[in-house]
Amino acid sequence: MNIDIFGLGYVGSILIACLSNENKVFGIDVDEAKVEQINKSEPPINEPNLEELLNKNKQNIKARTSFSQNYHRSNIGFICVGTPFKEGLGLDFQYIYRVVDSICIKLSQEKNLDTPYLIVIRSTANSKLISELTEYIEDRYGLIKSKGIILALFPEFLREGSAINDFFDENSISIFSCTNDFKYVEEILGKIFPWNIPKYVECDACSQIKLLSNSWHALKVAFTNETSQILKKAGIDSREAFKIFRTDKKLNISDAYLRPGFSYGGSCLTKDLSGLIALGKENGLKTPLLEGIQKSNDLYIERVSYDLEELNPDNIIFFGITFKANTDDLRASPYLLLAKSLKTKNIVIVDDIISKKIKNNSLSRGNQILLGNLRDCVIASKNLDKKRIINSKNNILVVSHYIYFKFIEKQGLNNQSIINLTHMKCSGNFPKSISYV
């Protein structure tokens, strides 16, 4: 395939080298020095194996400073120009617009546009740019409706220093978005990246997943370093400690705890986090990240509490009050903290485990103290007064444990207003459910 690549910096020079294995690639950059380097198979950036690849594929690579000097006709161009972030203004897309103008001008001069030209934006961008650019191309050049141009977003997730390895990694994130013609885009991108076929995702998600990924990486680095400083001050070998930490592939290095839901609870997370913060303090260290974790967790409970009060419901019915399903543990339960924070007196708590324990007189003293006055609100699901709920106008059902969804549906309460705090996505059977995540 013939491919154009606009911008030959960190992103573009990797793309030109890697795609030239199987394609004829034409690079365009306004920087003459970079163009000259690419034409001499000299990498414009420092990246392992880049020089070898440029050399190996030199027959397939050409670069120029202008698109009008293109040496082949291609039907696809990857835009890899800079999009600097300006404080208060957001991303600056002026270079992308310049490239798009050069493409449109060239295409407008062609009489027979039998195949569309696919513009793939590899630079950091967002869905707003895609819709504005679509409008711009149509208004100015009339090339969208006529299918002269198709526009797609295809973010890149490579790491500098291992970019070429990452490029051919079949497990890295490979997603694209476009406003229409997604089958066509999927087919073309699938031919170019057969080892990791790009999957279509909705436009906003497509641009934000990269921000999410990079924020997560930043959090991991800051967490590792903040906690390692605490360990070091306490005389512990942090490198050895993290070596052991990384061996836990079930909870530490895994997808555990990465499903959007509600605040964490339980005694272990809360207590051990406080313990590590205290160790840092004892050793004169500031621990803004660790302290921020608990603050963030509490803030989420406060937010939901505020919203529940604002809705001024006649009844608030909790489904699950322990810190997670299938336990009788109420310690640091975010659902209990939420229930306790409410001013309203009309609270019902459906929790089969706690209600059974109350009935059997086997609820631990600690849990009794934590429950306090709310003890009288706890009932078993079988005792829920379904009619009372259906007859009152303004109920809110707070679902803490996903296991109660089936029960709610069976009781015909699925049309009630539901606040879903679980990890599960509510189906269409719960038309008035809302979720914060």
Ligand X SMILES: NC(=O)c1ccc[n+]([C@@H]2O[C@H](COP(=O)([O-])OP(=O)(O)OC[C@H]3O[C@@H](n4cnc5c(N)ncnc54)[C@H](O)[C@@H]3O)[C@@H](O)[C@H]2O)c1
Closest approach of ligand X to the CB of residue 258, in Å: 22
Q: Tell me, yes or no, if 268 is annotated catalytic.
A: yes
Q: How far is CA 287 from CA 27, 276, 283, in A?
A: 47, 9, 11
Residues 126-165 that bind ligand X (CB under 6 A): 156, 160
Q: Which two tokens stand for residue 404?
A: 């109660």
How many Å apart are CA 342 and CA 338, to the nearest integer? 7
State which residue, 83 or 270, has the beta carbon closest to ligand X. 83
Angle at CA 73, nearest 5°, toward 71 and 76?
A: 115
Residue 400 token pair: 């803490």
- How many Å apart are CA 160 and CA 170, to the nearest integer? 18
The total of other beta-carbon atoms located within 10 Å of residue 294's CB is 16
Strand partners, 151: 119
* Minimum CB–partner distance for residue 225 and ligand X (Å): 21
The answer to whether residue 173 forms part of the interface with ligand X (CB under 6 A) is: no
Sequence-ordered alpha helix ranges (H) in 25-114: 32-39, 50-56, 94-109
Q: How far apart are the first and last CA of the chain?
A: 42
Which residue's CB is nearer to ligand X, number 30 or number 234? 30
Interface region with ligand X, contact rule CB under 6 A, candidates 76-84, 215-223, 236-244, 428-436 = 76-84
Among residues 24, 30, 55, 70, which is the contact residue for ligand X, using CB under 6 A?
A: 30
Exactly one of 80, 268, 377, 426 is catalytic; name it: 268
Strand, coil or helix: what is 74? coil
Of the pair 95, 193, the CB lying nearest ligand X is at: 95
Q: Toward ligand X, which CB reaches closer, 80 or 188?
A: 80
Alpha helix stretches (DSSP H) within 163-314: 163-167, 182-192, 203-233, 238-245, 267-282, 288-311
How many residues touch ligand X under the rule CB under 6 A: the total is: 23
Write the DSSP symbol of residue 159: P
CA-closest candidate to residue 99, choices 149, 37, 174, 36: 149
Residue with smaller CB distance to ligand X, 149 or 408: 149
Report d(CA 294, CA 230) in Å as an integer. 18
If one asks whether residue 47 binds ligand X (CB under 6 A), the answer comes out as: no
User: Rule CB under 6 A: which of 93-122 touch ligand X?
Assistant: 95, 98-99
Q: State which of residues 11, 317, 330, 389 lies at the interface with ligand X (CB under 6 A).
A: 11
CB of 13 to ligand X, least distance (A): 8
Does residue 7 bind ligand X (CB under 6 A)?
A: yes
Which among 23-31, 194-202, 368-376, 391-399 is the span making contact with ligand X, rule CB under 6 A?
Answer: 23-31
Nearer to ligand X, 93 or 319 (CB): 93
The residue of the chain with the least Cβ separation from ligand X equals 9
Q: Is 207 in the site for ligand X (CB under 6 A)?
A: no
**What are the CA-CA distances from residue 55 to residues 20, 59, 72, 169, 409 (Å)?**
10, 9, 20, 22, 64
Strands 149-153 and 433-435: unpaired
Answer for which of 5, 15, 25, 28 binds ligand X (CB under 6 A) is 28
Q: Does 243 help bind ligand X (rule: CB under 6 A)?
A: no
Of 4-12, 222-230, 354-362, 381-389, which segment contacts ligand X by CB under 6 A? 4-12
Q: Which residues are catalytic?
A: 268
Residues of this chain that interact with ligand X (CB under 6 A) are 6-12, 28-31, 34, 80-83, 95, 98-99, 123-124, 156, 160
